[in-house]
Amino acid sequence: MKNSVDVRTLLSVYEKIKTQGTATDTGIQLDGITCTENPDGYYVNLSDNNVSLDINFHNTYHFHTANEDPDTVINQTTTEFHNNNEAQIQAFIHKLVELDKRY
């Protein structure tokens, strides 16, 4: 699974959520995407109900999906698991790109 996304777009989305979103108990939210950052500023996080994306200091990023361990999903093959994760990630990327265009 390879996801190529422009880190500048990710950081643009983060900044738009941070400045135009609404504060919640879990971070700042805009259009179903929540952003948080760690206290030292070395990474930020964008997430929705299915995917979480860590953006690190050196412009690297890592996606996490709701169920990262296929052994925890009943009646689902490893291939199905990876396909579902990829679908979740692609949908999340689409949300981020659309949010970036909208604001």
pLDDT digits (tens, 9 = 90+) for 68-84: 554 555 444 455 545 55
Query: Quick one: pLDDT band at residue 92, thresholds 50, 70, 90?
Result: very high
Structure-token pair, residue 70: 């296929």
| CA distance linking residue 80 with residue 94, whole number of Å | 21
Choice between 10 and 40, residue whose per-residue pLDDT is larger: 10
- Among 57, 68, 66, 64, smallest CA distance to 7 is for 57
